[in-house]
Amino acid sequence: MGFSILKTRVAQETLGRLLAGYLRLVQRTNRIVFEPADIYDHVRPELPLIFAMWHGQHIMIPFARPDWMPACSLVSRHGDGGFNAIALRELGIGAIRGSGALGKKIREKGGASAFIAMVRRLAAGDTMVLTADIPKRARIAGPGIVALARASGRPIRAVAVVTSRRIDFNSWDRASIGLPFGRGAIVVGEPILVPRDADEAAQEAARLAVQASLDAVHARAYELVGSRDPGADLRQRQEAAGKPAIGAPAA
C-alpha cells in the first residue's frame, strides 16, 4: 500500500485549519438571509435536535449553527473525513466518526457504534448534524436519520445553506463550496417527529417527509440567491437508472 503524505496527522491538521479559515472568510463576506427570519426563536425550545442535510452541502452547513448551540456532526472514517473533522473542531463542532450504510456495510463503516454515540450526545444536549442520504445514493433519504430520531425522541429539521457565488463539483452528490463576496441563504424546514413506537409504515412516512423537506429547503435556498440547485434531478436520474428504492427501517 502506497504512503500518502496527505494522510498524515500534520497534513490533516493543516488542511482542516485551512478549510475552517476559508469558511470563516466566506461567512464574513456573504450577506446571508435566514428563512424563517426568526428561525432560532423557534428552534431554541426544541433543542437538542437533529439537523438533516443532503450530501454535497456538508461543507457549508457550519454556517447554520449559532455560537450558543452545542453541536456534533457525523464524519466519515475514510477519505476526507480526517481534515473535515478537524475543520469542524476549529469551527466549534464536535465529530463522531462513522458513515451511513445499508445492510452488511453498517458495521465495517462504523455505523452501529456511531449511532450509539449520536444517541448519547443528543441525550447530553448536543444537536446532531448529519446527512440524510448515504454515500452514492444522493438525494434519497436513508432510514438511519429516522431511526436516530425514533431512538432519541428528538425532532428532525431539514436545512440548506447556499451562496450565490460558489463552485459546483461534478461529483456523485453535486457538492458545492461557497465563494466570498456574494449573497447567502439559510433555509430551515418544519420539525419532523418520529414517535418511539413508530411502526414500519410510520417510519417510512417520516423518511419521505425528511426527503420532501430537504428538497423544499434546497429549492427555496437556491431561489433566494437567484440560482438553481445543481443536484435537483439526482434522485430522478438514479430511479431512471434502475437503482432500487431504499425501504423502511425495521420496526
Supply the mean pLDDT for the chain. 90
Domains and CATH numbers, the chain: 31-240 (3.40.1130)
Residue 207 pLDDT class (50, 70, 90 cuts): very high
% of the chain surpassing 70 pLDDT: 88
What are the strands, taking DSSP E only, across the chain?
A: 31-35, 50-53, 71-75, 94-97, 127-131, 156-163, 166-168, 176-178, 183-188
* Segment 8-16 mean pLDDT: 90
Contacts of 19-26 spanning 24+ positions with Cβ under 8 A: 19/59, 19/83, 19/84, 19/87, 20/86, 20/87, 20/88, 20/90, 20/91, 21/90, 23/59, 23/60, 23/62, 23/63, 23/87, 23/91, 24/91, 25/180, 26/163, 26/178, 26/179, 26/180
- Residue 161's DSSP bridge partners are 186
Residue 244 pLDDT class (50, 70, 90 cuts): low
pLDDT in tens, 222-235: 999 999 999 999 99
pLDDT in tens, 34-61: 999 999 999 999 999 999 999 988 889 9
Give the phi and the psi of residue 146 in degrees, each rounded to 5.
Answer: -70, -40
* Segment 200-208 mean pLDDT: 98
